[in-house]
Structures are given as C-alpha cells and as structure tokens.
Amino acid sequence: MKKRKFGNSGLEVSAIGLGCMNLSFGPGPAKNFNDGIRVIRSAYEKGISFFDTAELYGPFTNEKLVGEAIGPFRDEVILATKFGFAHDHGQVTGADSRPESIRRVVDESLGRLKTGVIDLLYQHRVDPNVPIEDVAGTVGDLIKEGKVKHFGLSEAGAQTIRKAHAVIPIAAVQNQYSLWAREPEQNVIPVCEELGIGFVPWAPLGTGFLTGTITADTKFDSTTDLRSTFPRFTPEAIQANMPLIEMLVNIAKEKSASPVQIALAWLLAQKPFIVPIPGMDKEAYLMENLKSMDIELTSEDLNRIDDELSKIELVGARLNEGLLTMTEDQ
C-alpha cells in the first residue's frame, strides 16, 4: 500500500482512506451493521490505514460501527472524527463549537469509538459565533490531556486555516474536492502547501456522479438520500453535466481503467499531500478504487483534462443552500 504524509504533522496514512459515512448515512439507507464491519475490516486487510467518521453520521451510529470494526487493529490505523454541529434528535440546527460542546462531543465520541484517543479531530464546520482561536485552544487542551493527537478543519477557508494554525498546528483540512468541485484550488490547497498541512478531499467521486452510473433518470429517495436536496442532482443538472462523464469515460478507455479510477488518480496527481476518502460502502468497490493508485496520468493527460474541464460549465450548486451557508469561501 502506498502511503502519504500530512505535511509537517508526522501523520502518515494510506494514499487512499475510507470515508465511512456512507455505511450509515447519506446516499441511501444505512447498511447492515455486520456488512459495514466486513467492509471496514476488508479495507484494513487491503492496506487502508485511514478511517474517517463523525458524531453526526447516522447520527451517532457510524462511530459505533467504526469503533467496533477497527477494535482488533485499533493501534495500527489512523482514526478521524469530527465535532461542530448543533443538532436536535439528529437534525442539524446550526453550528456549535463552544468549548464545552467540543469537550462533551469528544468524550461521547471516545465512548462510541471504544478508544482512548482520537488521532485526528476535525471541526466539522466553522462556527461563526466562536472565534477559531478559541476552538483551536480547546482542542490544544484536549491534546495536552491525551484525548486527541491532531487537529483538523473541514470546509474551512484560507484565513480560518491560518488563524487556527497560528494557535496550534493543523494536521489536515478536509474540504469537498473533485473534478466537479475544484474550489479548494483557488486558496485552500495553496495555503495547505505553504503551511505544511495535509488535504483530504471528501466526496472525491462527486457524491457518486463521477462513477458514471448516474443518469437524468436516477431517482434519489427524499427520506434517505441527501442528494435529493442537492441542486447538482436534479435531472436537468445531471443531463447538463454529462459532458464531464463523457470526458472521464473516454480517458478511462484509453487507460484501460474505470471513470472512478481516473477521478481518483487525478486527485492523487494534484499534490503529494492529498489523501482522498471515497465512501466505499461495498467490498467490491475497494479493489476498484485502490487500483487508481497504479494509474499514471502524465502531464499531457492532466493538461488535457484541465483544457476539457475549462470548456464544461457545470450546472447546479454542489450542496443545498442550508449546507452551503455553513461553508466558508474557499
């Protein structure tokens, strides 16, 4: 398994991690608990050493699943989870990164994860009501207490990253990034490179769109699938964005690969400190995704992709309005 380092943090992980959310929440109904354990343990057996979860996934059930699954090899993997949402019976009501809330969430997460320490603790969303310096200071105290090893930010902008990093070193930033969500290239990835911070793209396969299996006729259950509320997943937007899939399919054929593998290989080719976390919720997806590490995209390939992407005008916002208002300028 190829490995990558998160900048200056000392953290080293598999070049592709496992985003565990899909096993409990998000694009469709939750998977069977035992099936989820099998997927996570199979990922470990194939060399994946970086597992990502959050208190809100499920809600709460994903941390329990991950904690149970990685128990036999807990000390051999890097475990990431998150705090930062206010919620009522699992329904998001806003952001909450008050120091007392961070401490409560961390203690509860440690219990669900069946571990004594969280390797990488992200602020899930920036809280406009709590100075990021106070958030970083609280996590710094948790690090001193031995409950957390490293601090990260999710969906944060460049200035927030700088302010937090001035208080305590940021190990990784996790923002949405893929062939159809390239906003982090403008400011966030450059500041990560400058400061020696790792970058973790969530939704590296465009929340499923870049698999090439979604069409304008695809239906998204309004009760179990978050994509039913995303403007980029309306039938009209899907149809309008198909040129991106056509490009991926063409390149994949030339490389004897799949669109999934090209999309992940493209991310890996951007910077050596980038570690995507696709949501592989079936064992069959594991090997397909991991093979992307062996695909070489030449400078000519990358220039061609950039050129063709510049001619494609993507339709629809990447998230619904409620989630977009909780992200910072990239």
Which residues carry out catalysis?
57
Answer for the pair 155, 326: CB distance below 8 angstroms, yes or no: yes
Element (H, E) at 246: helix 242-254
Residues 6+ apart with CB under 8 A from 24: 30, 31, 36, 57, 58, 61, 62, 65
Residues forming a β-bridge with 208: none
Within a 10 A sphere around the Cβ of 317, how many other Cβ atoms? 13
CA nearest neighbour of 286 among 37, 40, 30: 40
Per the structure block, which two tokens stand in for 242? 């198909």
Burial class (CB in 10 A: 0-12, 13-18, 19+), 170: buried
Answer for the pair 124, 81: CB distance below 8 angstroms, yes or no: no
Separation between Cα atoms, residue 113 and residue 71, nearest integer Å: 9
Residues forming a β-bridge with 85: 95
Answer for the pair 203, 176: CB distance below 8 angstroms, yes or no: yes
Work out whether the CA dihedral 142, 112, 80, 9 comes out positive or negative: positive
CA nearest neighbour of 174 among 132, 243, 245, 120: 120
Answer for the pair 152, 170: CB distance below 8 angstroms, yes or no: yes
Q: E strands along 100-191, which residues?
A: 118-123, 148-154, 170-176
Answer for the pair 210, 259: CB distance below 8 angstroms, yes or no: yes
